[in-house]
Structure 1
Amino acid sequence: MARNRFELLLCKFHLANNEECPFNDRLHKIQCLVDMLNRNASLCIVPEETICIDETMIPFRGRLSFRQYIKGKRHKCGMKIYKVCFDGDSLKIYCGKEKIEGQSVAESIVMEMLQPLLDDERTLYADKWYQSVALAENLQKRSTHLVGTIRKNKKGLPKTVVDANLKRGEIVARQNQNKVVVMK
Structure 2
Amino acid sequence: MLYLDTIRRQDAGPRTRLQLVGSFLDYKNSKFVHYFTPRRELCVDESTIKFKGRVSFITYNPKKLTEWRILVYTMAVSSTGYLCGILSYYGSLTTDSLIKRDLPVTTRIPLHLYSMLLEKLPGAQGHHMFTYRYYTSYKLAEEILKLKYHLKGTILTNKQDGCHMLEQLE
| Structures share fold, TM-score greater than 0.5 | yes
Letter aligned with residue 132 of structure 2: D
Structure 1 residue 132, shift from structure 2 partner: 1.1
Structure 1 residue 39, shift from structure 2 partner: 2.1
- 1:24-71 deviation line (CA, Å, top 9, x unaligned): x86322434323322222222111111001111222334321112356
Q: Is there any run of 5+ residues in structure 2 with no aligned partner, and where?
A: 119-123
TM (normalized to structure 2)? 0.73
Q: Is 1:131–1:150's contact at 8 Å kept on the other side of the alignment?
A: yes
Q: Which residue of 1 aligns with 2:40?
A: 49
TM (normalized to structure 1)? 0.68
1:92 aligns with 2:91: no
CA pair 133-72 structure 1, distance change in 2 beyond 3 A: farther
Q: Which moved more, 1:25-34 or 1:54-63?
A: 25-34
Q: Which residue of 1 aligns with 2:121?
A: none
Q: Is 2:18–2:55's contact at 8 Å kept on the other side of the alignment?
A: no
Letter aligned with residue 155 of structure 1: Q
Q: Which residue of 1 aligns with 2:13?
A: 19
Question: Taking every aligned residue pair, what percent have the same amino acid on both sides?
Answer: 25
Structure 1 residue 20, shift from structure 2 partner: 7.2
User: Per the alignment, in what secondary structure is the counterpart of residue 125 of structure 2?
Assistant: coil
Alpha-carbon RMSD = 3.0
Q: Which residue of 2 aligns with 1:106?
A: 106
Q: Which residue of 2 aligns with 1:169?
A: none
CA distance in 1, matches of 2:105, 2:133: 13
Larger Rg: 1
CA distance in 2, matches of 1:70, 1:53: 22
Q: Is 1:132–1:150's contact at 8 Å kept on the other side of the alignment?
A: yes
Letter aligned with residue 43 of structure 1: H
Q: Which residue of 1 aligns with 2:143?
A: 138
**Number of residue-to-residue matches in the alignment:** 153
Q: Which residue of 1 aligns with 2:73?
A: 82
Q: Is 1:14–1:29's contact at 8 Å kept on the other side of the alignment?
A: no
Q: Is there any run of 5+ residues in structure 1 with no aligned partner, and where?
A: 1-8, 162-172, 176-180
- 1:73-122 deviation line (CA, Å, top 9, x unaligned): 43243110111101541212111113353222221211111104455111
CA distance in 1, matches of 2:90, 2:20: 13
Q: How does 1:1-184 map to 2 (within 5 A)?
A: 13=5, 15-16=7-8, 17=11, 19=13, 27-70=18-61, 73-86=64-77, 88-89=82-83, 90-97=85-92, 98-99=94-95, 101-118=101-118, 119-158=124-163, 174-175=167-168, 181=169
Q: Is 1:69–1:76's contact at 8 Å kept on the other side of the alignment?
A: yes
CA distance in 2, matches of 1:26, 1:106: 27
Letter aligned with residue 45 of structure 2: D
